[in-house]
Structure 1
Amino acid sequence: MLRSWSILLCLFHSVHGSWDRFQNNAIPVAGVVGRADLLCALFFLLSFLGYCRAFLQYNKEGKQFSISWLLMSIFLGAVAMLCKEQGITVLGLNALFDAFVICKINMAGLIQKLLHRGKVLESSTFLSKGFLLRIIFLASGGTAILYIRWRIMGTGPPAFTEVDNPASFADSILIRVINYNYYYSLNAWLLLCPWWLCFDWSMGCIPLIKSVDEWRIIALVALWFCLIGLIYQALCSEDSHKRRILSLGLGFLIIPFLPASNVLFRVGFVIAERVIYLPSVGYCMLITYGCSILNRQVKNKKLIAAAVLVIMFINMMRCIIRSKQWRSEEQLFKSALSVCPLNAKVHYNVGKNLADKGNQTAAIKYYREAIRLSPKYVHAMNNLGNILKERHELLEAEELLSLAVQIQPDFAAAWMNLGIVQNSLKRFKEAEQSYWTAIKHRKKYPDCYYNLGRLYADLNRHSDALNAWRNATALKPDHSLAWNNLIILLDNAGNLAQAEAVGREALELLPNDHSLMFSLANVLGKSQKYKESEVLFLRAIKVNPNTASYHGNLAVLYHRWGNLEAAKKHYEISLKLDPIAPGTKENYNLLKRKLEQLQKRGHI
Structure 2
Amino acid sequence: MFSGNRMCRAIKTNPDVSWTSPWWSLVWNDFWGTPLTHSGSHKSYRPLTVLTYRLNHLFGELDPLGYHVVNVFLHFLATALFGHLASRLFRRRAVPTLVATFTFAVHPIHTEAVAGIVGRADILASIFFLLALRSYMAYLDLDASDQFKCDTSRTSKLLKRWWFLSLTVLSAFLSMLSKEHGLTVLGVCAVTDLLLVSRLRLRDLFSSHIFERGAGSSRGVQYEGVMVLVVGFLGILALRLSIMGAKTPEFSPADNPAADSDSVVLRTLTFFYLPVFNFFLLLMPAVLSFDWSMDAIPPVSSPWDVRAWLSAFVYLLLLYWGWGILDALQRRKEQEPERVERNGSTAVIHAPLVVSHGFPWDTLDVSVMGLALLLFPFVPASNLFFYVGFVVAERVLYIPSMGYCLLLALGFHLLQSKTESVPGKRILHLALVGLLLLFSVRTLVRNRDWASEESLYRSGILVNPPKAYGNLANILSAQGNKEDAERAYKLALSYRSNMADVHYNLGILYQETKRYEEAIQSYRLAIQFRPRMAMAHLNLGLVLGLLDRKEEAMEVYLHCSTLDVSGLKDPRTHEATKSLYNMLGEAHFKKGDLNEAEKWYLEALKAKPDHVPAHLTYGKLLAKLNRVEEADALFQRALKLVPEDSTVHQHYGQFLSERDRAEEAARHYVKAAESAPSEYEIIFNAANTLRQAGRNQDAEAFYRKAEATSHLNLGAMLHVNGKLEAAEESYLAALRLKPDDPITKTNLQKLRQLQGKKSKGGSSER
Name the CA distance, whole Å, in 1 between partners of 2:298 and 2:532.
29
Please list, as runs of the form range in 1=range in 2, the aligned pairs for 1:232-251 lying within 5 A after superposition: 232-237=323-328, 238=356, 239-251=360-372
* Match 1:280 to one of 396, 401, 404: 401
**Match for residue 112 of structure 2?**
24
Deviations 1:210-241 (A, max 9, x none): 21222333432442244234313322232333
**Match for residue 127 of structure 2?**
42
**Match for residue 450 of structure 1?**
579
The SS at the match of 1:338 is coil
Find out whether 1:375 has 2:459 as its counterpart. Answer: no
Q: Alpha-carbon deviation of 1:416?
A: 0.7
Q: Alpha-carbon deviation of 1:259?
A: 0.7
* Match 1:73 to one of 168, 175, 180: 168
Structure 2 unaligned regions, length at least 5: 1-83, 150-156, 329-355, 569-574, 619-632, 650-666, 675-740, 747-766
**Match for residue 271 of structure 1?**
392
* Match 1:97 to one of 177, 192, 195: 192
**Match for residue 210 of structure 1?**
301
Q: 1:17 to 1:154 in 2, by over 3 A?
A: farther
Find out whether 1:409 has 2:538 as its counterpart. Answer: no
Q: Alpha-carbon deviation of 1:17?
A: 3.8
Find out whether 1:332 has 2:416 as its counterpart. Answer: no
Name the amino acid aligned to 1:101.
Answer: L
Q: 1:43 to 1:75 in 2, by over 3 A?
A: same
Please list, as runs of the form range in 1=range in 2, the aligned pairs for 1:137-536 lying within 5 A after superposition: 137-237=228-328, 238=356, 239-298=360-419, 299=421, 300-341=424-465, 344-444=466-566, 447-448=576-577, 450=579, 472=604, 474-477=606-609, 502=638, 504-505=640-641
Relative to the length of structure 2, the TM-score reads: 0.58
Q: 1:398 to 1:13 in 2, by over 3 A?
A: farther
Name the CA distance, whole Å, in 2 between partners of 1:469 and 1:84.
39
Q: 1:160 to 1:589 in 2, by over 3 A?
A: closer
Q: 1:303 to 1:402 in 2, by over 3 A?
A: same
**8 Å Cα contact 1:483/1:503 also seen in 2:** no
Name the CA distance, whole Å, in 1 between partners of 2:485 and 2:461.
14
Q: 1:302 to 1:443 in 2, by over 3 A?
A: closer
Q: Alpha-carbon deviation of 1:178?
A: 1.6
**Match for residue 62 of structure 2?**
none
The SS at the match of 1:104 is coil
Name the CA distance, whole Å, in 1 between partners of 2:315 and 2:228.
33
**8 Å Cα contact 1:99/1:131 also seen in 2:** no
The SS at the match of 2:250 is coil
Find out whether 1:15 has 2:103 as its counterpart. Answer: yes
Name the CA distance, whole Å, in 2 between partners of 1:56 and 1:319.
37
**8 Å Cα contact 1:384/1:397 also seen in 2:** yes
Q: 1:38 to 1:264 in 2, by over 3 A?
A: same
Name the amino acid aligned to 2:520.
Answer: E
Name the amino acid aligned to 2:235.
Answer: A
Name the amino acid aligned to 1:4.
Answer: R
The SS at the match of 2:300 is coil
Structure ID, larger Rg: 2
Question: Percentage identity across aligned positions?
Answer: 28
Name the CA distance, whole Å, in 2 between partners of 1:168 and 1:93.
28
Q: Alpha-carbon deviation of 1:430?
A: 1.1
The SS at the match of 1:78 is helix
Structure 1 unaligned regions, length at least 5: 487-496, 508-514, 531-584, 591-604
The SS at the match of 1:54 is helix
Deviations 1:103-156 (A, max 9, x none): 234x4xx66x99xxxx95867999554442222111111111011111111123
Q: Alpha-carbon deviation of 1:98?
A: 0.3
* More displaced 10-residue stretch of structure 1: 56-65 or 163-172: 56-65
**Match for residue 4 of structure 1?**
88
Name the amino acid aligned to 1:476.
Answer: K
The SS at the match of 1:339 is coil
The SS at the match of 1:256 is helix
Name the CA distance, whole Å, in 1 between partners of 2:208 and 2:637.
88
Name the CA distance, whole Å, in 2 between partners of 1:351 and 1:70.
52
Name the CA distance, whole Å, in 2 between partners of 1:98 and 1:432.
67
Name the amino acid aligned to 2:576.
Answer: D
Name the CA distance, whole Å, in 2 between partners of 1:197 and 1:355.
25
Q: 1:62 to 1:381 in 2, by over 3 A?
A: farther
Name the CA distance, whole Å, in 1 between partners of 2:307 and 2:475.
34
**Match for residue 59 of structure 1?**
145
**8 Å Cα contact 1:398/1:421 also seen in 2:** yes
Name the CA distance, whole Å, in 1 between partners of 2:614 and 2:128.
48
Name the CA distance, whole Å, in 2 between partners of 1:498 and 1:268.
46
Name the amino acid aligned to 1:164.
Answer: D
Name the amino acid aligned to 2:458.
Answer: K
Q: Alpha-carbon deviation of 1:19?
A: 4.1
Name the amino acid aligned to 2:542.
Answer: I
Q: 1:172 to 1:477 in 2, by over 3 A?
A: same
**8 Å Cα contact 2:616/2:634 also seen in 1:** no
* More displaced 10-residue stretch of structure 1: 377-386 or 366-375: 366-375
Q: 1:247 to 1:347 in 2, by over 3 A?
A: same
Q: 1:22 to 1:363 in 2, by over 3 A?
A: same
Name the amino acid aligned to 1:308.
Answer: L
**Match for residue 544 of structure 1?**
none
Deviations 1:356-402 (A, max 9, x none): 11122222222223333333321111111222233333333222322
* More displaced 10-residue stretch of structure 1: 332-341 or 236-245: 236-245
- How many residues align structurally? 504
The SS at the match of 2:497 is coil
Q: 1:126 to 1:230 in 2, by over 3 A?
A: farther
Name the CA distance, whole Å, in 2 between partners of 1:388 and 1:84.
40
Deviations 1:306-339 (A, max 9, x none): 2111111111111111112112110111100022
Q: 1:480 to 1:46 in 2, by over 3 A?
A: farther
**8 Å Cα contact 1:449/1:469 also seen in 2:** no
Name the CA distance, whole Å, in 1 between partners of 2:743 and 2:379.
76
The SS at the match of 1:321 is helix
The SS at the match of 2:286 is coil
Q: 1:138 to 1:22 in 2, by over 3 A?
A: closer
Q: 1:159 to 1:456 in 2, by over 3 A?
A: closer
Q: 1:74 to 1:26 in 2, by over 3 A?
A: closer
Name the amino acid aligned to 1:268.
Answer: G
Q: 1:395 to 1:447 in 2, by over 3 A?
A: closer
Name the CA distance, whole Å, in 2 between partners of 1:589 and 1:437.
49
Name the CA distance, whole Å, in 2 between partners of 1:194 and 1:357.
32
Q: Alpha-carbon deviation of 1:304?
A: 1.8
Q: Alpha-carbon deviation of 1:176?
A: 1.9
